[in-house]
Structure 1
Amino acid sequence: MEDVKKALLTKSKSARNEQRGKAISFICIALIVIVVLAIFYFVASKGLATFFTDGVNIFDFLFGTTWNPGTVDASGNPEVGALPMIAGSFFVTVLSALVATPFAIGAAVFMVEISPKNGTKILQPVIELLVGIPSVVYGFIGLSVIVPAVRSVFGGTGFGILAGTFVLFIMILPTVTTMTVDALKAVPRYYREASLALGATRWQTIYKVVLRAAVPGILTAVVFGMARAFGEALAIQMVIGNAALMPTSLTTPAATLTSILTMGIGNTVMGTLENNVLWSLALILLLMSLVFNIVIRLIGKKGALK
């Protein structure tokens, strides 16, 4: 009887392995959370030093249009207006998403609804190839092809938001296309069958049934692509012109948060105003990444409720 009781109370080998697996998973998750919180704390402590240590007014920083951290204006305030970079980042992000979305939806519809076999054989390898190309290669292509093309067609130097939009369009297109393909494949097959059974044509089924059912997934793909574009640094730096000025047109040199960061972070001394304002730009980037992730989650929940 004692042997039976002991056998029942002793954990089996599979139970011990499951407990170890749970412990290892918890440690890994805790480590990830700690790393993320540490990154947030480090960037926030450096970025907020601009306002609490150096005494820069947060509204002057966010809405000022003059960026020259090494000098002061007539009132004795440092010229650290970040609005030109914030505006440049939003312009290239939104424009690239607007250009990429129709192409991504068209490619996804072809791969899933019109010619799945050929789409898998032809487009899928191309998309995978585009994903694997390094950012610096996109930047060189933009510098060698897109900038001269913009210069010859629209005039000016060729550097600016328009060139940056074309480069980011090519960079985010594979991401948006892949996620849109997944969204279309997630639409139940009986949606299509029911629509065709009611007499709808294939195009009516695609437009009025499949695409509408996949709207949450498509929106998630677009927002994810915007997050990718907003944080791109090297490629956009090579084609946008890096002039910290308010954009007056699509063909004049401009700047983004990432382009100013990559140019200036290695040329400043830690703890100085010039360095702290760059960390403040990094904090804005981090907060915007958080906003994009929240939007993606909200869209995903809305789609799940349906």
Structure 2
Amino acid sequence: MEDLRQRLTQPSVESKQEASGKVISYLAITLIGGLVATILIFLTWKGIALFTGNHYSLWEFLSGIKWRPSDHVFGALPMIATSFSVTLLSGIIALPLALVVAIAITEILPSTAYKFLQPTIELLVGIPSVVYGYVGLTVIVPFLRRFFGGTGFGILAATCVLFLMILPTMTSMTIDSFRAVPKQYRNASAGLGATRWQTISRVIIPSAKSGILTAMVFGMARAFGEALAVQMVIGNTTVMPTGLMHSAATLTSVLTTGIGNTVMGTISNNALWSLALILLVMSLAFNLLMRLVSRKGVK
């Protein structure tokens, strides 16, 4: 009788597995959280060294228009303006096309088209950025040089490359948003006598609005942080952008070209870390914006 009581009261195999699973999960969460916190602390510490250690003016850094590391002049405004310019232009161009493609795949074309096109789009999402940069260098830049003159390098070339990069991502996310709209909405709209276009424009798109905005923000976040592809076609001139065909430089292109040419701890190296801190802040801002848009859509 006592043996039976011990068997009934002792922990089962399932409870032991659940306890070990919780321990592993908590350890994984702690490890990931520690890594993220370490990265944030390290980038913040290195990013503010220019202002705390070298006593460089924060206002001059953010508002200055000249970037001359040899003269210890660090004005980040041209790179910030160029980064936002190419990001906004590529996002504005890519969003309408992503909407059109997503509408065609989910609402107009037969289901067999979705089975063929969706894997193709996802394949384009996974193409390395250097491939897009090489396409821009060998196709887009010569095309722009032939029809618009100049060198072909500049903001317009970078915008075209980023547009090609983020279009598959935005299209895939928009397709998922449209497919998440309940079928009952379409049936109810058809039952009220609405045409296909009326159903798309007045029912499906408004219902998937939060997903569409999330796709746009996600695509722009990827465009803002892209380095290699942009560096290959933008010209890498640290001046204020004055035209689409003029060479310029983004935050990422300056970082990738300059980080290997500076000595750790010098004022030039600290200035690059400050640019990296700006990139980190903007990435966090994009992530926060995506969460706000998604939360608004859920409500």
TM-score range, shorter chain: over 0.9
Name the residue aligned to 2:98.
104
Match of 2:184, SS state, is helix
8 Å contact from structure 2 (residues 122, 172) kept in 1: no
Spell out structure 1 runs of 4+ moving beyond 6 A.
none
- Alignment partners' CA distance in 2, 1:136 and 1:30: 34
TM-score (structure 1 length as normaliser): 0.95
| Superposition deviation, residue 125 in structure 1 | 3.2
Given candidates 245, 255, 262, the residue that maps to 2:249 is: 255
Structure 2 partner of 1:195: 189
Q: Which runs of 5+ in 2 are unaligned?
A: none
8 A contact 2:84–2:224 mirrored in 1 = yes
- What is the rounded CA distance, in whole Å, between the counterparts of 1:67 and 1:92 in structure 2? 19
What is the percent sequence identity of the aligned residues?
59
Kept after mapping to 2: 8 A contact 1:105/1:177: yes
Structure-2 residue corresponding to 1:44: 44
CA displacement 1:47-69 (0-9 Å, x = unmatched): 10000000011110011000012
Query: What aligned pairs does 1:231-250 form with structure 2 within 5 A after superposition?
Result: 231-250=225-244
Equivalent position to 1:143, from 137, 143, 161? 137
The equivalences for 1:1-306 within 5 A come to: 1-71=1-71, 78-305=72-299
- When residues 182 and 3 of structure 1 are mapped into structure 2, their CA distance, relative to the original with a 3 A threshold, is same
Equivalent-residue separation in structure 2 for 1:220 and 1:117 (angstroms)? 25
Distance in 2 (CA, whole Å) between partners of 1:2 and 1:108 is 67
- Alpha-carbon contact 1:172-1:225 (below 8 Å) kept: yes
Give the partner amino acid of 2:220: M
SS at match of 2:68: strand
Letter of the 2:20 partner, please give it. R
The whole-number CA distance in structure 2 between the counterparts of 1:58 and 1:234 is 28
Counterpart-to-counterpart distance in 2, 1:145 and 1:2:
83
The answer to whether the 8 A contact 1:111-1:118 is kept is: no
Displacement after TM superposition at 1:9 (Å):
2.7
Residues 110 and 116 of structure 1 are in contact (CA less than 8 Å); yes or no, is this contact kept in structure 2? no
Q: Distance in 1 between matches of 2:125 and 2:74?
A: 36
Maintained 8 Å contact 1:161/1:240: yes
Contact persistence 1:112–1:119 (CA under 8 A): no
Which whole-Å CA distance do the structure 2 matches of 1:125 and 1:192 have between them? 25
1:111-136, Cα deviation, whole Å (9 max, x unpaired): 11111424324422331231222111
Matched residue SS, 1:70? helix
Distance 1:5 1:111 in 2: 63
Q: Let me know the Cα RMSD of the aligned residues.
A: 1.1
For these two proteins, the number of residue pairs brought into alignment is 299
Give distance in 2, aligned partners of 1:267 and 1:46: 17
Q: 1:4 Cα deviation (Å)?
A: 4.4
Q: Within 2, Cα distance between the matches of 1:173 and 1:116?
A: 22
> Which runs of 5 or more structure 1 residues have no equivalent in the other structure?
72-77
Q: Which residue of 2 aligns with 1:75?
A: none
8 Å contact kept, 1:110–1:119: no
